Amino acid sequence: DVKVTQSSRYLVKRTGEKVFLECVQDMDHENMFWYRQDPGLGLRLIYFSYDVKMKEKGDIPEGYSVSREKKERFSLILESASTNQTSMYLCAITSLYGYTFGSGTRLTVV
Amino acid sequence: QKEVEQDPGPLSVPEGAIVSLNCTYSNSAFQYFMWYRQYSRKGPELLMYTYSSGNKEDGRFTAQVDKSSKYISLFIRDSQPSDSATYLCAMKGQGAQKLVFGQGTRLTINP
């Protein structure tokens, strides 16, 4: 089975900090995605990548950037964290049937 | 109007009941339909996958797709407290890489 690993389950960061969320897959999948999930708003796509060094904006890219230097790793960067970025962040890859998700990172910005 | 509509609930039913979860969609190009289950503080996991119209059964779970009505359903028979979770529908068209998700329905099964 494909494994998608998000490095942190829970993070607490201060306003203005630069935050890195890491996602690693153990297969050779091209497509990787970052979503945030908020009550009442569902899943919203932030960025996705279909190959190394390739990225495309999703529906809500403002305040975020991404990095994909190696195929297995896709990083989400919050340049200057703000309280409205408190959320559940989910990484996903395209698999045979839809997506495989990581366990999620619950980020709180104080 | 959202591409995929799903009632967020919450939905609360007694143990043993039959549960029906539904999504409607507007894009007739969608051909692949999925249901994900998400437990609290965890990532979604794939529960059912259906291509085009028809039914698919897996144990206590049945997925139905009616493309003519642009309507998909997930039925849970003999519901258990362990089925308490958020259920997300998702779909995509032929060749598409991105899924389009419903908002998710929060389900609680009461013992």
- The string of pLDDT tens digits covering residues A38-82 is 988 899 999 999 999 899 999 999 999 999 999 999 999 999 999
* Beta carbons of A50 and B97 less than 8 Å apart: yes
Pairing of strands B54-58, A105-109: unpaired
pLDDT of A4 > 90? The answer is yes
Instruction: Give the model's pLDDT for residue B36.
Output: 97
Quick one: which of B72, B1, B2, B88 has its CA closest to B31?
Answer: B72
Closest CA to A25 of A3, A6, A54: A3
Distance, in Å, from the CA atom of A105 to the CA atom of A59, rounded to the nearest integer, reads 19
pLDDT for residue A1 is more than 80: no
Give the confidence band of B2 by pLDDT, cuts at 50, 70, 90.
confident
Contact B43 A104 (CB under 8 A): yes
Predicted confidence (pLDDT) at residue B1 exceeds the cutoff of 80: no
* Mean pLDDT in residue range B30-57: 94
Cβ neighbours for A69, distance < 8 A, ≥ 6 positions apart: A52, A53
Contact A99 B8 (CB under 8 A): no
In the prediction, which pLDDT does A30 show?
86
Measured CA to CA, the distance from residue B93 to residue B96 in angstroms comes to: 5
B90 touches chain A (CB under 8 A): yes
pLDDT tier for residue B96 given thresholds of 50, 70 and 90: confident
Give A98's DSSP letter. S
Quick check: A2 pLDDT over 90? no
Sequence-ordered list of residues with C-beta below 8 angstroms from that of A46, at least 6 positions apart, any chain: A34, A35, A36, A58, A59, A60, A61, A64, A66, A76
> Beta partners for A78?
A19, A64
Residue A61 φ/ψ, nearest 5 degrees: -80, -10
**Nearest CB to A97: which of B44, B49, B98?**
B49
| A90 chain-B contacts, CB cut-off 8 A | 43-44
The backbone torsions φ and ψ at residue A84, rounded to the nearest 5 degrees and listed phi first, read: -75, 0
* Percent of chain B predicted with pLDDT > 70: 100
Are the C-beta atoms of residues A66 and A77 closer than 8 Å to each other?
Answer: yes
What is the three-class DSSP state of A84?
A: helix
Q: What percent of chain B has pLDDT over 90?
A: 87
The alpha carbon of residue B16 is apart from the nearest alpha carbon of chain A, in Å, by 28
Tell me which chain A residue has its CA closest to the CA of residue B103. Answer: A42
Q: Give B-chain residues touching A6 at CB under 8 angstroms.
A: 43
* Closest chain A C-alpha to B66 CA, distance in angstroms: 19
Average confidence (pLDDT) over A91-108: 92
Q: Point out the residue among A42, A94, A104 whose CB comes nearest to the CB of B42.
A: A104
Looking at chain B, which residue has its C-alpha nearest residue A58? B98
Predicted local distance difference test score (pLDDT) of residue B82 = 97
Helices (H) and strands (E) in chain A, counts: 0, 11
Is B19:B83 a contact under the CB 8 Å cutoff? yes
